[in-house]
Amino acid sequence: MQRWIVLASCLVGSACSPGDGLNLFTVQDDIDLGREVRDQILADRSTYPVLDEDEAPGAYAHLYRVRDAVLASGEIEHADTFDWEVYLVDDPGTLNAFATPGGYLFFYTGLIEYLDEEDHFAGVMGHEIAHADRRHSTQQLTKAHGVSTLLQVVLGEDPGLAAEIAAGLLTLEFSRHDEADADEHSVEYLCETAYASDGTAGFFAKLDAEGGVSLPEFLSTHPSSDTRVEDIRDAAAARGCSVELDPDAEWEAFQAALP
């Protein structure tokens, strides 16, 4: 019912627009779309060489450990609603990570091998969790397709379009606003953990320091990394959050557990 009230208010007035964060999809839609995209990914091993858990049980155990620490922050709205499944993509030559709607998270082994600290990885994970939890993907879909087109989808009048939208999630680009929002919420999440709250900044700082490193695919449309380092650290300072590295992190063990 709430979705139809929001939709009606936008159709008869100017109180909102797709660019203002309007989302015609329900939370259950996010979950359903995410599961469909997850299944597409898992079925395409040539493009996404996802490791089965029995192929790398130790690495998955560490991945779950980091995920659970971030989810336990108490700051994630859909912590108990989304599935928050995590997957390792066996591609050591690629620095990448992404999330589908509904909390299905994919991390490339190349990213894990590249990072120096578990806190930095936790920051990246917090960023991807934020994209899902803040429902950025379905907001972007609403903006991209418009109210009238998506109305056909939510009413079940165009199943072909629904499938097309699901497939398009794999190439969806987030706005700069969404990226800044995910950065800020990553700080918020990590602030309530043992990890350095500015963990994501450590990743960007390494990219800057090394120079010439190709920007990872999942950052290709983001603001410049030097600007984001400053913004992330400012957000941590404004919240009074710790930026000390977690002394109990098991990063070397995590990296060593990769196949």
pLDDT at residue 242 is higher than 60: yes
Which pLDDT value is given to residue 136?
92
Each residue of 103-134: pLDDT tens digit?
999 999 999 999 999 999 999 999 999 999 99
Confidence class for position 12, pLDDT limits 50, 70, 90: very low
Which pLDDT value is given to residue 219?
52
Instruction: Give the rounded percent of residues in the chain with a pLDDT score beyond 70.
Output: 75
Which pLDDT value is given to residue 50?
98
pLDDT at residue 214 is higher than 60: no
3-state secondary structure the chain: CHHHHHHHHHHHCCCCCHHHCCCCCCHHHHHHHHHHHHHHHHHCCCCCCECCHHHCHHHHHHHHHHHHHHHCCCCCCCCCCCCCEEEEECCCCCCCEEEECCCEEEEEHHHHHHCCCHHHHHHHHHHHHHHHHCCHHHHHHHHHHCHHHHHHHHCCCCHHHHHHHHHHHHHCCCCHHHHHHHHHHHHHHHHCCCCCCCHHHHHHHHHHHHCCCCCCHHHCCCCCHHHHHHHHHHHHHHHCCCCCCCCCCCHHHHHHCCC
Confidence class for position 4, pLDDT limits 50, 70, 90: very low
